[in-house]
A and B are shown apart, each in its own frame.
Chain A
């Protein structure tokens, strides 16, 4: 097994001033990152934020228009075979040959790497032992995704790229994938994953870069990012019949313990320090103006709220 470098300051991946244009559109626009050896680093952002393009530049599959990239202390040049042997790569979607068996696909990918794990070991890691002899076409979406993860693991990589590893999966498959990634973290692997699920980022990632329009707009541990909101709770409410003018931002700001107010169409979002103080005051203020909330929920602040407070938009259009 590979032993990761123990020094925490060492960079596994570094990029600066990264730019990539597709025609007129800048998919990546001056992006800078520093992923430390042994950490699980998340790139969180909505679809089209430039996450996949960035990762594919890291993987040596695309050339940037400008900027520096250093992967495991090396730069991409030539065929990069020696560097590729140290990386594990899961693309957003890979269709493996339908008629090949799971064990055959893993054997094929194992043969491409100069060293790596035993295929049986990888099957166990993926909980796919029972499916070793099954053809790819018979697998569920979650099993296919795990197979793709297995192909990234089979070369026993120092640095693993996972591009939206759980997008489109059911909750159970998602949790299974998370457990596999947590196992890798425990073994000291460096993981860079992209996701637009804030839950995934906060559970798996040591540090998260929030990406929007090809740039890093916030960086830190999930806890730091949430703390940056200045309050830990979010109240969302809607007011049905009442004329919009009845409620305005200033009045909500004036409520006790409210830190931030965002209007999103008919609904309002308040970031608050203490729910038990804010909610009674809010209800009283609404009643005073003859407005009645048609919906009211509260939750712990998440990375989604961080993204919303930074951009005014949601991570996913739901």
Chain B
């Protein structure tokens, strides 16, 4: 820029300028861009790869070396469901412990099975091995059943995962994005300086919220487009409802972010509170696995968490094609969290 060139600066209203400044700050922070846009896509891709749908695999079973070992190996290897090997007694036990075999068959006169009944694969192997050996020993099948194979799109792990990741991202960026910037501004006297200017406090906080919602578009968009077009995740409900749910989720978590940032003066302080708030939701709110895994007496707590409501609503719209009425209870819970957080945050907010 040359000194003699007259640069005219266009100045818009305070809300617009505050929002613009916040967006400039975010987009110029490479780390923020990574965590907001790249990380969820990477995570979805990696987890999708790890838990990809595979053709049914033969179950590995071990036969202990002995007089009947060869015969049993042949009987078990005849069908497609089992993959038997002959091992010494010690090796077979080790293989079972390490998970390289899901069941061990003895090699002596009467077959005996060693397996872990808490493992679905072990139980399946127990049925398949027993049926094969009984059949070889002369038991006749009473009938031959017909088989219809059903693999439904939308029932894969990655389909379950994507709405959870979207929910997690809406929580994370809502809370970090608002919380960090407010505490940083408070810590560096910027908040005090802004309050000393003739600007409404609602504009100062409103700009934070608006910039957050502006960011929601590319952030949720990138993950969803990747999920639809690359991973083939279905969207069974309405796009508008999905956008609406995401928007409400972003607003609710911005409220929680505002609340966690209402008092702390330091980044360390706010980080501690944020982790305290978010870690339980990472675990309990059904991001990576269903909330139903937790015992029934914990469910009232789990179902009251805002991220549980958001994830349920997102999954309902994307995977089950739920309409507005079906997700309304979840949305009401989210809205309640958002409103209560905003109100309490404004009451206790430390402006300097």
B-contacting 9-mer, from A89-97, A194-202, A296-304 = A89-97
Cβ distance B132 to chain A, nearest Cβ, rounded Å:
67
**Residues of A contacting B12 in the complex (Cβ-Cβ under 8 angstroms):** 111
**Residues of B contacting A103 in the complex (Cβ-Cβ under 8 angstroms):** 7, 9
Contact A112 B197 (CB under 8 A): yes
Q: Does A85 contact B (CB under 8 A)?
A: yes
Give 17 A-B contacts (CB < 8 Å), ordered by A residue. A61-B192, A61-B196, A79-B201, A81-B199, A91-B196, A94-B193, A96-B188, A107-B11, A109-B197, A111-B16, A112-B194, A112-B198, A112-B199, A113-B197, A129-B1, A129-B3, A130-B3
Q: Select one of B24, B199, B201, B352 contacting A104, CB under 8 A.
A: B24
Q: Does A108 contact B (CB under 8 A)?
A: yes
Contact B24 A100 (CB under 8 A): yes
Known A94-B189, A110-B11: A130·B25 in contact at CB below 8 Å: no
Known A95-B188, A120-B6: A89·B193 in contact at CB below 8 Å: yes
Q: How many residue pairs between the two chains, A and B, have CB atoms under 8 Å in the bound complex?
A: 104
Q: Does A234 contact B (CB under 8 A)?
A: no
Contact B21 A104 (CB under 8 A): yes
Given known contacts A84-B196, A99-B25, A120-B8, what 11 new A-B pairs fall within 8 Å (CB)?
A: A59-B196, A61-B195, A79-B200, A79-B201, A97-B21, A97-B25, A103-B7, A107-B17, A108-B20, A130-B3, A135-B28
The number of chain B residues touching the other chain, given as a range, is 35 or more
Q: Does B14 contact A (CB under 8 A)?
A: yes
Q: Mark A29-46, 1 if CB is under 8 A from B, else 0.
A: 000000000000000000
State in angstroms the CA–CA spacing of A287 and B28 once bound together.
71
Q: Mark B177-211, 1 if CB is under 8 A from A, else 0.
A: 00000001101111011111111110000000000
Contact A106 B24 (CB under 8 A): no
Q: Does A60 contact B (CB under 8 A)?
A: yes
Known A60-B196, A109-B197: A97·B1 in contact at CB below 8 Å: no
Q: Does A155 contact B (CB under 8 A)?
A: yes
Cβ distance B34 to chain A, nearest Cβ, rounded Å:
15
Q: Select one of A82, A84, A94, A119 contacting B190, CB under 8 A.
A: A94
Q: Does A133 contact B (CB under 8 A)?
A: yes
Interface members, chain B 146-191 (any A CB < 8 Å): 184-185, 187-190
State in angstroms the CA–CA spacing of A94 and B193 once bound together.
7
Interface members, chain B 98-135 (any A CB < 8 Å): none
Known A81-B200, A84-B198, A112-B14: A120·B193 in contact at CB below 8 Å: no
Q: Does B56 contact A (CB under 8 A)?
A: no
State in angstroms the CA–CA spacing of A106 and B11 once bound together.
10
Q: Mark A10-27, 1 if CB is under 8 A from B, else 0.
A: 000000000000000000
Chain B: which residue is nearest A83 at the CB level? Answer: B198
**Residues of A contacting B14 in the complex (Cβ-Cβ under 8 angstroms):** 111-112
Contact A133 B1 (CB under 8 A): yes
Contact B198 A81 (CB under 8 A): yes
Cβ distance A245 to chain B, nearest Cβ, rounded Å:
52
Q: Does B57 contact A (CB under 8 A)?
A: no
Known A82-B198, A89-B197, A95-B190: A100·B9 in contact at CB below 8 Å: no
Contact B29 A99 (CB under 8 A): yes
Q: Does B13 contact A (CB under 8 A)?
A: yes
Contact B198 A113 (CB under 8 A): yes
Q: Does A114 contact B (CB under 8 A)?
A: yes
Q: Does B222 contact A (CB under 8 A)?
A: no
Cβ distance A131 to chain B, nearest Cβ, rounded Å:
9
Most buried by A among B194, B199, B352: B199
State in angstroms the CA–CA spacing of A108 and B10 once bound together.
10
Known A94-B189, A99-B24: A106·B197 in contact at CB below 8 Å: no
Q: Does B305 contact A (CB under 8 A)?
A: no
Chain B: which residue is nearest A59 at the CB level? Answer: B196
Contact B198 A114 (CB under 8 A): yes
**Residues of B contacting A132 in the complex (Cβ-Cβ under 8 angstroms):** 1, 7
Cβ distance A121 to chain B, nearest Cβ, rounded Å:
10
Q: Does B18 contact A (CB under 8 A)?
A: yes
